[in-house]
Amino acid sequence: MPADLARLSRRTVLGSSLALAACDRFAAAEPAPGPEPGPLKSLAPCPFGTTGMTGQLDQLFWVEQTLRHASQLTPEWELKMERTLGADFTHDFSAADRVVDFAHGNGLRVHGHTLIWYSQGAETFNASVPPARFKAEFDRYIAAAVGRYRGRMVGWDVVNEPVSEDGSGLRDCHWSEALGVEGYMVRAFQQARLADPDAILFLNEYNLENIPAKGTTFLKLVERLLKLGAPIGGIGTQSHLNIEIPAGNITNFFRDAASLGLPIHVSELDFSLKRDGGHLPDLRSSTEKRAQQVARVGELAEAFMALPERQRYAFTTWGLRDSDSWLLRTEGKNNPDDSPLLLDAQGRANPAYQAVVDAFT
| Residue 161 confidence (pLDDT) above 60 | yes
| Residue 71 confidence (pLDDT) above 90 | yes
Closest by CA to 268, choosing from 191, 226, 209, 334, is: 209
> What is the CATH classification number for the domain harbouring 184?
3.20.20.80
Q: How far is CA 40 from CA 118, 133, 314, 357, in A?
A: 33, 46, 12, 8
- Reduced to 3 states (helix: H, G, I; strand: E, B; else coil), residue 170 is strand
As a whole number of angstroms, the distance between CA 119 and CA 323 comes to 25
As a whole number of angstroms, the distance between CA 229 and CA 187 comes to 9
Are 87 and 124 within 8 A, CB to CB? yes
Closest by CA to 358, choosing from 314, 320, 302, 306, is: 302
In a domain, 103, yes or no: yes
As a whole number of angstroms, the distance between CA 212 and CA 216 comes to 6
The pLDDT value given to residue 189: 99
The pLDDT value given to residue 36: 79
Domain range for 114 is 13-271+283-360
| Residue 232 confidence (pLDDT) above 50 | yes
| Residue 6 confidence (pLDDT) above 90 | no
What's the predicted TM-score (pTM) here? 0.90
Long-range CB pairs of 289-292, under 8 A, 24+ apart, other chains included: 289/243, 290/31, 290/351, 291/27, 291/28, 291/29, 291/31, 292/27, 292/243, 292/244
In a domain, 25, yes or no: yes
| Half-sphere exposure of residue 125: CA atoms within 13 angstroms, side-chain side | 28
pLDDT in tens, 236-276: 999 999 999 999 999 999 999 999 999 999 999 999 999 98
The mean pLDDT value for 328-334 works out to 94
Catalytic residues: 161, 268
CB count within 10 Å of CB 204 equals 26
pLDDT in tens, 91-141: 999 999 999 999 999 999 999 999 999 999 999 999 999 999 999 999 999
Q: Is the sign of the CA dihedral 77, 80, 86, 91 positive or negative?
A: positive
The pLDDT value given to residue 35: 63
The pLDDT value given to residue 1: 54
How, if at all, do strands 312-317 and 264-269 pair?
parallel
pLDDT in tens, 24-39: 444 444 444 546 799 9
In a domain, 6, yes or no: no
Closest by CA to 236, choosing from 145, 314, 318, is: 314
Closest by CA to 145, choosing from 238, 81, 197, is: 81
How many domains, the chain? 1
| Residue 75 confidence (pLDDT) above 50 | yes
The one-character DSSP state at 345 is: T
The pLDDT value given to residue 30: 41
In a domain, 88, yes or no: yes
The pLDDT value given to residue 2: 52
The mean pLDDT value for 308-335 works out to 97
| Residue 23 confidence (pLDDT) above 60 | no
In a domain, 300, yes or no: yes
Closest by CA to 122, choosing from 166, 195, 177, is: 177
Long-range CB pairs of 12-17, under 8 A, 24+ apart, other chains included: 15/251, 15/252, 15/255, 16/248, 16/252
In a domain, 67, yes or no: yes
As a whole number of angstroms, the distance between CA 225 and CA 231 comes to 8
| Residue 10 confidence (pLDDT) above 90 | no
7-16, 152-161, 208-217, 296-305: which range is least confident on average?
Answer: 7-16
- Reduced to 3 states (helix: H, G, I; strand: E, B; else coil), residue 63 is helix
The mean pLDDT value for 320-338 works out to 96
In a domain, 352, yes or no: yes
In a domain, 2, yes or no: no
